[in-house]
Homo-oligomer: A and B are copies of this chain.
Amino acid sequence: MNIDKENQFFEFKELCHKSDLKITPQRVVIYEILSSTDEHPSAETVYKKARRIMPNISFDTVNRTLNTFSDIGAAFIVEGTGDVRRFDAGLGNHQHFKCVKCKRIIDFHYEEFDNVHRPAELEKFDILKSTVYFEGICDVCKKK
């Protein structure tokens, strides 16, 4: 393990300790798999890789552990929140804020976000859509 990875693994253990989570072999394997790829794998993909190392690991453990990592900030969900699909017929330029408590999605509009700069790194792709999106606690939920 190189210095970077060792350090990342140390931070992972710190995060577990802070949240009173035990450092189990399953969690270690799952974290190793997730932190050594840039392909943003699904739970199923992580499960398949984990079984090569730990043949009896269950899908439930992998899925639950990934959610746990997400809860403690050791990882995050980049696609598909697990929530249901939600639709919008408002085609005018606007952006969204989502409350993580009540799941309300609130429209707002800030012109600069309608056409954000397209970084040079992305030039080799055909960009169809850009999105600026905020998440947090809404005014109503703050009062509770």
A130 proximity list for chain B (CB < 8 A): 132-135
Interface string of A125-144 (1 = CB under 8 A from B): 11111111111111100100
A112 proximity list for chain B (CB < 8 A): 117
A34 proximity list for chain B (CB < 8 A): 87-89
Determine if A110 and B119 form an interchain contact, defined as CB atoms under 8 angstroms apart: yes
Interface string of A96-131 (1 = CB under 8 A from B): 111110001101111011001111011011111111
Q: Mark A residues whose CB is within 8 Å of B.
A: 31, 34-35, 38-44, 46, 66, 69-70, 73-91, 96-100, 104-105, 107-110, 112-113, 116-119, 121-122, 124-139, 142
Q: Closest 9 A-B residue pairs measured CB to CB?
A: A110-B119, A35-B89, A40-B105, A79-B86, A127-B136, A80-B85, A126-B137, A128-B136, A34-B89
